Amino acid sequence: MKYFSIILNFVLAIAIIVLYVLYFSMPKGKEISGTEKTDTLAMPVDIGIAYVLEDTLLSKYEYFQELAADLEEKRKAMENDYTMKAQGLQKEFEGFQRTAGNMTMNQARAVEEDLMQKRQNLMMLQEKMGQDLLRAEAEVNTQLYDKVSGYLEEYANENGFALILNVKRGNAILYGDKSMDITDIIVKGLNEEYNAGDAIPQVPAIESDTTSSN
């Protein structure tokens, strides 16, 4: 979903990976020069690096799917609420246009001022709804990050991984051997952890004032 374009924060720069490889490849206490570099700087076989495919994880992680569905439901409710208020105000404007000719100048001015105030309130409501939705999305992202990063930390410690990368289209990782892909393992573990718990994922309440345009 578009709300979750930046979910995980595990991507490291290629330079860091190169430095990591060089550090663990170099013999301790010995300087390397000349032709020795070609032989000794080969990639170690067991360096403890793996990666997770972000799109696959998000499409299969039940906790995320629950949060995404809840957030979408709240977004639609806000959109419907705003649409109903906007349509109601439009009808009031149209009614005023039909009856303004039968009013005194003071009456017409008073009604017009009231309608303009309602229009201003509706614009403020729209802005507040947008801010509340962004806040809810940010809190959902935080919940998701904490869940995934916490589980990955435990998994890395138990299985001897020094680095687990987040791979998605457009990031710096252009290729990774399939043997380093642990996405399905992580998804399985995350779903088992989620299904074994009692907590139900829930999007934070959105507190927009639904009466401010009235």
- The pLDDT > 90 percentage for the chain reads 50
- How buried is 10 (Cβ within 10 angstroms: 0-12 exposed, 13-18 middle, 19+ buried)? middle
pTM of the entire structure?
A: 0.64
Distance, first Cα to last Cα, the chain: 33
**Is the pLDDT confidence value at 52 over 80?**
yes
Per-residue pLDDT for 4 more than 50?
no
Q: Quick one: pLDDT at residue 2? A: 43
pLDDT reported for residue 207: 55
Looking at the domain 2-196, which fold is it? Answer: Protein Binding, DinI Protein; Chain A (3.30.910)
For residues 150-178, give the mean pLDDT. Answer: 88
Give residue-wise pLDDT tens across range 175-188: 888 889 999 999 99
Q: What are the sequence ranges of the domains in the chain?
A: 2-196
Average pLDDT along the chain = 77
Q: Which residues contact 184 (CB under 8 A, 6 or more apart)?
A: 56
Q: 206 CB contacts (<8 Å, ≥6 apart)?
A: 74, 78, 129, 132, 133, 135, 136
